[in-house]
Structure formats: structure tokens, C-alpha cells
Structure 1
Amino acid sequence: MAHIDLGNQAPGIAALFAYRPETAAPINQLVETLLRGPGTLAPGERELIAAYVSELNDCQVCAPGHSAIAAVQLPGGADLVAQVKADPDRADITPKLRALLHIAALVRESGSAVAAKDIDAAREAGADDREIHDAVLIAAAFSMINRYADALGAAPITDPGMLAGLARRITARGYTG
């Protein structure tokens, strides 16, 4: 049960978005741009960063949904997502993605936790400045969104069928469609 009267029973963060559509629109546009817009990181990789940050933030509203969305877009599926969330250093991912996940984990702690050596390591692993920028912004944006969902007590989606439907819908239509 949400901590405030949202006036709706929508599942997950959709309840918060329905309560204030004028704030939901720019959040959804930012998420659409970051996770699905043009870029050299695959949408599934960007979803994985969002899922990983949400997991580290212990956000039970965002982590399951973004994990499901990443899983349908990545060749390794749910098994790969689980590997990354458990230990990205042992997961079957590229060194570049591993370095970007490392940066994302630092960002969720504090922006100032990211040091030049972390950026250099990502570059050495093959990340370009745009990919580094986007990983930082995904981590920062999802830390904010996770706090928004948790602070207002949005109800998590726990039904596997609903999560699968959400993943199919977002993969097909995006966050603004």
C-alpha cells in the first residue's frame, strides 16, 4: 500500500505515474532516451545497468521489471541477468559492460565515488565517452527513480506473468508508447 493516497490501483511505479502524469512524462522520456535511444550499447545492456543499479538499491519496484526487460533482450536471458546481479565480475559479459557496471555501482553510492581510474579502466575495456556518460546517467537516474518509488511505497509487481507482459510491452513499444 502506497504511503499517500494515489487515487488508483495501478501496479508498480505506474501508480505514481498515474498520480502525477505531468512528472511521469519527462521521467518516461528520459528513460526512453537512456535505455532505448540511439547508442552503441544494446538496449538490453542498458536495461541491465538499470536492473543492476535497482538491485543494488534494493528497489523491489524497479529491479524485477528492468530485470525482466533486460532478460528478453539479452542472449543470456534471465540466467545472465541473475549472474550480473549476483556478481558482475563472474558473469558472462564483456569486459566493457563489466567496467560500465562497476562505474554504475559507484554512481549509486555517490557521484564523487567515481575516480579517473574507473573511467580509464572503462576506456581500456573498450567503452567510449558516450557509453561512459550514458552508464553514469542511467545509474544516477535509476537511483533517483528507485528512491521515488520506495519513498512513496509503490507496490512491487510480483506476478511473473505481469512482469513478462511488462517486458514484452516495453520491448515492443518503449516507455513513451
Structure 2
Amino acid sequence: MSQQPISRFTVPDIADMPDDIRTRILKVQEKSGFVPNVFLVLARRPDEFRAFFAYHDALMDKPGNLTKAEREMIVVATSSANQCQYCVIAHGAILRIRAKNSLIADQIAINYRKADVTDRQKAMLDFAMKVALEAYTVDDADIETLNAHGFNEEDIWDICAIAAFFGMSNRLANVTNMRPNEEFYMLGRS
């Protein structure tokens, strides 16, 4: 087990956290068997923790035409482009589990264009990457391409919002030097 700190910033003890945050973290620990480091690192700023996870949940847990696996594909692809080790490793694990595919997260993290995804998913990831890296170039042709693949206005908003939200998350994870939990590396691999 690594002896490296999980962040370059001070991380509060769970016992010292506000009740609502401590309760949420303990529920995650009960469900997964460990506490993902993102919860501990972000808990140092309780109001921001609450806002972050409220928006995260609104984007990632909602019903819609994008599957939960497709939402994770967006996170893995854009986080790879942003060189965010934490999010690629953590959301790669979630993607493997949600897609029931032990190879897909690695494929998407390395080069989504060569991954075993559908043409629809490739169009989704092309757009997410454009949002992540050069949103100022998005134009009507991008929307028309997505429409041709069956994405409606709400789906396109979701793709954009997920890519944008995780751009912010990637930057926080990189600046804090957030380390992925070792447990994430093997999840969904067998």
C-alpha cells in the first residue's frame, strides 16, 4: 500500500467533518468498501463539497438517453485529455463496472477513436472532446452531427455539461495532486 499523501493540501479527519458530509462519506464507504480519496480531499471545503457532489449527482445519476456507462465514457476520455490520473483511474473503474467490459476504459483512456464503441458513442466522444479542449469552436455542424446520431437537445446538453464539469474536476485533482485509491485499479477487471 502506498505511503504517499492523497493530496498536497490538508485533508480533514472524517470525525471532524460536518454531519451531512460525514454521513455521505460513510455511506459510500459502506457501499464500496473504501472511501474514494476525492471525498476526503474535497471535504476540506464543506460548501464546495456539497455543491460539487450535488452537480455531479445531477449529471451522472439522472435518467436520460445517455446510459450511465456512456456518461462515464465521457469522463474517461476528457479526463485522459486533461491528464487527470485520479479521474481516469477512478472513473475507468466505474466505466468497467457499468459497461460490464474490462477493456473499454483502457481503450477510451488511450485513444477513444480506436476503442470498441459504436459510431454513436464515437460521435458523442468527439463532441465531448471538442467541449473539453476547444469549446469556442463548437458550431451548428457539431449539433447536426449529434442529431444525426440520435442525440436530442437534452442529450447534447448532458454531454457538454459532463465534459465541462469534469474539466473543472480534473483541474482540482491535478492541482491538489489527488491520488487514486489503489482499490480502483482492479475494480471491474475480471
Q: TM-score range by the shorter chain?
A: 0.7 to 0.9
Q: Is the 8 A contact 1:67 1:78 kept in 2?
A: no
Relative to structure 1, the CA distance from residue 90 to residue 165 in structure 2 (aligned partners, 3 Å threshold; closer, same or farther) is closer
Deviation at 1:82, TM superposition (A): 1.9
57, 74, 77: which is aligned to 1:49? 74
Matched, 1:18 2:43: yes
Matched, 1:68 2:93: yes
Alignment match, 1:107: 131
Residue identity opposite 1:44 in structure 2: A
Q: Is the 8 A contact 1:54 1:63 kept in 2?
A: yes
Q: Tell me the distance in 2 between the aligned counterparts of 1:24 and 1:51.
A: 21
**What do the CA deviations read for 1:73-121 (whole angstroms, capped 9, x no partner)?**
114x131222222332332222221111111111111321322222211
Alignment match, 1:171: none
3-state secondary structure, aligned to 1:88: helix
Q: Is the 8 A contact 2:93 2:186 kept in 1?
A: no
Q: Tell me the distance in 1 between the aligned counterparts of 2:187 and 2:60.
A: 15
Residue identity opposite 1:43 in structure 2: K
Alignment match, 2:184: 163
Q: TM (normalized to structure 2)?
A: 0.77
Q: TM (normalized to structure 1)?
A: 0.82
Q: Tell me the distance in 2 between the aligned counterparts of 1:3 and 1:119.
A: 40
Q: Is the 8 A contact 2:96 2:104 kept in 1?
A: yes
Moved >4 Å (runs of 4+): 8-11, 164-167
Deviation at 1:166, TM superposition (A): 7.8
3-state secondary structure, aligned to 1:62: helix
Q: Tell me the distance in 2 between the aligned counterparts of 1:73 and 1:88.
A: 17
- RMSD across aligned C-alpha pairs, in angstroms? 2.2
**What do the CA deviations read for 1:108-166 (whole angstroms, capped 9, x no partner)?**
11321322222211111221111111000000000001101111222232x2xx21798
3-state secondary structure, aligned to 2:56: helix
Q: Tell me, which stretches of 5 or more residues in structure 2 are unaligned?
A: 15-34
Q: Tell me the distance in 1 between the aligned counterparts of 2:12 and 2:113.
A: 43
Deviation at 1:65, TM superposition (A): 0.6
Q: Tell me, which stretches of 5 or more residues in structure 1 are unaligned?
A: 168-177
**What do the CA deviations read for 1:7-26 (whole angstroms, capped 9, x no partner)?**
44975322222212221112
Alignment match, 1:90: 114
Alignment match, 2:11: 6
Relative to structure 1, the CA distance from residue 36 to residue 156 in structure 2 (aligned partners, 3 Å threshold; closer, same or farther) is same
Q: Is the 8 A contact 2:96 2:187 kept in 1?
A: no
Larger radius of gyration: 2
Kindly tell me the number of residue pairs found equivalent between the two proteins.
Answer: 163
Residue identity opposite 1:70 in structure 2: L
